[in-house]
Amino acid sequence: MERLVTTSQAAEILGLSLQGIHYRIKKNQLKSIKKDGKIFVYVDDSQKNYNSQEKIEPITSNNSNSFEAIIEVKNEQIELLKKSMKWMKKQYISEIFRLEKNQKRIIEVFNSEIKLLQSAFNEMRSIYKPQIANKVDEKQKQSSGFLSLKDFFILMKRENKTELEIKHIIFNAIKKGDRRFIYNKIEKKLLILDANFEDLI
């Protein structure tokens, strides 16, 4: 009964070396087929254990045919290895290209996210910076213990004083030496202490 086996199995069944199997395949003494890059041999159970006369003779200087068969087998194996290496190289290059492409995409996503964050930050800063600056100015004014001339006018206008009346209040206070009003004649600057002004209302 004929069955399909690998070259190694055929060598074991027939009692031959692997080189002997390949030699017989080359010489069409054994039927074989190639599947997925592998060689398979048809073996008949009646072919088991070739006798010593049927086996390949040892390689000698006189047995050039056997030597050539081995060389051919080795050449086939080298070609298979070359093809395998070429395929692996292609796979490696393809994988490197894929990774580089993914890396570029990730960097592009990060850059776009950073731009969005920067624009959001600039927008928030433009909205809140004036408010923060005003609060800082107010705190500085409060911590300094002085009122600006503008703030004093606002305070007096709340008490229904006209601008002319406010100017007279300031002039009279300086003239009387009111310590709440400090006038620097050289620099022509007026400092107003943050105090109670009920007596001037």
Q: How many residues does the chain have?
A: 201
Q: What backbone phi and psi angles, to 5 degrees, belong to 35?
A: -130, 125
Residue 56 confidence (pLDDT) = 44
Q: What is the pLDDT of residue 51?
A: 41
- Render pLDDT for 39-96 as a digit per residue (tens, 0 to 9): 898 887 666 655 444 444 444 444 566 677 788 888 888 888 888 888 888 888 989 9
The predicted structure's pLDDT at residue 144: 63
What is the DSSP-derived secondary structure letter of residue 58?
P
pLDDT reported for residue 13: 86
Structure tokens at 37: 């890059």
pLDDT below 70 — which residues of the chain?
A: 1, 45-66, 132-144
Q: Looking at beta carbons, which pairs linking 119-127 to residues 24 or more positions away fall under 8 Å?
A: none
What are the domain boundaries of the chain? Answer: 1-56, 58-143, 145-200
Distance between CA atoms of 33 and 35, rounded to whole angstroms? 7
